[in-house]
């Protein structure tokens, strides 16, 4: 078996000391497709698990162009400057098909935050993960918490399946909307709005305040028709200007009020338990898939199907049907020979 050059003990020590290089290296280790790295990353996560769980996890999403990065930078700088927080931002970026790396490069869009010694920004490529959520985001959250970051912000690609997935990872889910985007509900699916704990009308810049206030009022009325996500908490709607740094404090105060409400009714611990269960289910599912794909019989089946597809010997529908039959035969228990009794 190949040996890794990474010393787990040194890496663990660096993370617990808050060393950013060690934290970045550990996240990269978790993202590796090599089996030896995957095993080492699980061992590292197991040892660091007791040092995690003490942060506030905030999910931020919204339609493309809603100003998510500008908002996160404004919020992050306020928390660092006024509340002495340590901020980790995990951005879920689209992947480059050629290199597999992230495309957007959020550090270039959060200049002030990226220069702060109390902030850590890590873009994570979605790779082939459905819905735009990095499959290792939960691991990155745990590592950031172990490194001493007390506020973790997860930014998603945009409105879609990713929001439903991120909602299972965070303590509070914030949905960003913009002034003048048309009908308040047109750009958002009902399922996404039902996930939101707070909705923010962003880009309420000078001259847009009145229009933003009207849109916020209309949205509040619509949200009254939705069921409560958490007992005793109705979704709050705010307006803000991330560029002009207005309205950020009110949003933070509401985030804190949301957490106090959840903790006072024991909903916080239950939600964290559900987060852990969802992560375990995802890891278990991927472990099973990886194990199955490594089996020689499966590799042979895949290669044979590829060859038939390229040679166009058979239609892809028939090929899919044959593959399902072959898989069923591979994983079916062997049939016992029946004794033929002559009368």
Distance (Å) of CA 36 to CA 1, 145, 228, 237: 8, 24, 45, 47
Segment 194-217 mean pLDDT:
92
Helix (H) and strand (E) counts in the chain: 13, 7
The pLDDT assigned to 223 comes to 87
User: What letter does residue 119 receive in the DSSP assignment?
Assistant: E
Distance CA 129, CA 217 (A): 37
Q: Could you give the strand order of the β-sheet that contains 151-155, starting from the edge strand earlier in sequence?
A: 119-125, 87-93, 151-155, 56-62, 172-178, 198-202, 236-239
184, 215 contact by CB (below 8 A): yes
pTM of the model: 0.85
Q: Which residues contact 277 (CB under 8 A, 6 or more apart)?
A: none
Distance CA 129, CA 168 (A): 16
Q: Which residues contact 60 (CB under 8 A, 6 or more apart)?
A: 68, 71, 72, 153, 154, 155, 156, 174, 176
Q: What percent of the chain has pLDDT over 70?
A: 83
Distance CA 111, CA 77 (A): 11
Which of left, alpha, beta for 182 (phi over 0: left; psi -120 to 50: alpha)?
A: left
* Residue 153 pLDDT > 60: yes
106, 67 contact by CB (below 8 A): no
User: For residues 120, 109, 130 and 296, what is the CA-based torsion angle, rounded to 10 degrees?
Assistant: -60
Segment 59-66 mean pLDDT:
87
Each residue's pLDDT tens digit, 269-320? 999 999 999 889 888 888 888 888 889 999 999 898 888 888 877 888 888 8
114, 20 contact by CB (below 8 A): no
Q: What percent of the chain has pLDDT over 90?
A: 53
Distance CA 156, CA 61 (A): 5
Q: Please, which pLDDT band fits residue 94 given cuts at 50, 70 and 90?
A: low
Whose tokens are 């560029």? That residue is: 243
The pLDDT assigned to 188 comes to 57
259, 171 contact by CB (below 8 A): yes
* Residue 337 pLDDT > 60: no
Each residue's pLDDT tens digit, 70-87? 999 999 999 999 999 999
Distance CA 245, CA 73 (A): 10
């Amino acid at each position: 078996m190949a040996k890794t050059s990474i010393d787990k003990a040194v890496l663990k020590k660096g993370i617990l000391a808050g060393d950013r290089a060690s934290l970045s290296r550990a996240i990269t280790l978790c993202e590796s497709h090599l089996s030896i790295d995957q095993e080492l990353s699980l061992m590292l996560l197991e040892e660091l698990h007791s040092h995690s769980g003490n942060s506030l996890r905030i999910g931020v999403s919204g339609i493309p162009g809603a100003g998510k990065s500008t908002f996160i930078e404004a919020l992050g700088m306020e928390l660092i400057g006024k509340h002495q927080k340590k901020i980790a931002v995990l951005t879920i970026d689209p992947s480059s098909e050629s290199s597999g790396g992230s495309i957007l490069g959020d550090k270039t869009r959060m200049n002030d935050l990226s220069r702060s010694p109390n902030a850590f920004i890590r873009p994570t490529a979605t790779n082939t993960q459905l819905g735009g959520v990095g499959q290792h985001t939960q691991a990155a959250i745990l590592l950031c918490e172990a490194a001493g970051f007390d506020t973790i912000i997860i930014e998603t690609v945009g409105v879609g399946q990713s929001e439903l997935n991120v909602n299972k990872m965070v303590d509070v889910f914030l949905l960003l909307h913009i002034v003048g985007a048309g009908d308040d509900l047109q750009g958002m699916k009902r399922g996404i709005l039902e996930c939101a704990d707070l909705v923010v009308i962003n880009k309420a810049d000078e001259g847009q305040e009145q229009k933003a206030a009207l849109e916020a009022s209309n949205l509040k009325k619509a949200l009254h028709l939705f069921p409560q996500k958490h007992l005793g908490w109705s979704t709050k709607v705010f307006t803000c200007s991330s560029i002009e740094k207005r309205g950020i404090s009110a949003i933070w105060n509401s985030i804190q009020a949301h957490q106090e409400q959840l903790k006072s009714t024991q909903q916080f611990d239950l939600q964290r338990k559900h987060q852990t269960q969802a992560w375990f289910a995802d890891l278990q599912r991927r472990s099973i898939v990886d194990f199955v794909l490594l089996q020689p019989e499966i590799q042979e089946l895949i290669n044979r199907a590829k060859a038939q597809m390229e040679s166009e010997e058979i239609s892809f529908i028939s090929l899919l049907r044959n593959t399902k039959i072959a898989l069923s035969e591979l994983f079916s228990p062997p049939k016992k020979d029946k004794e033929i009794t002559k009368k």
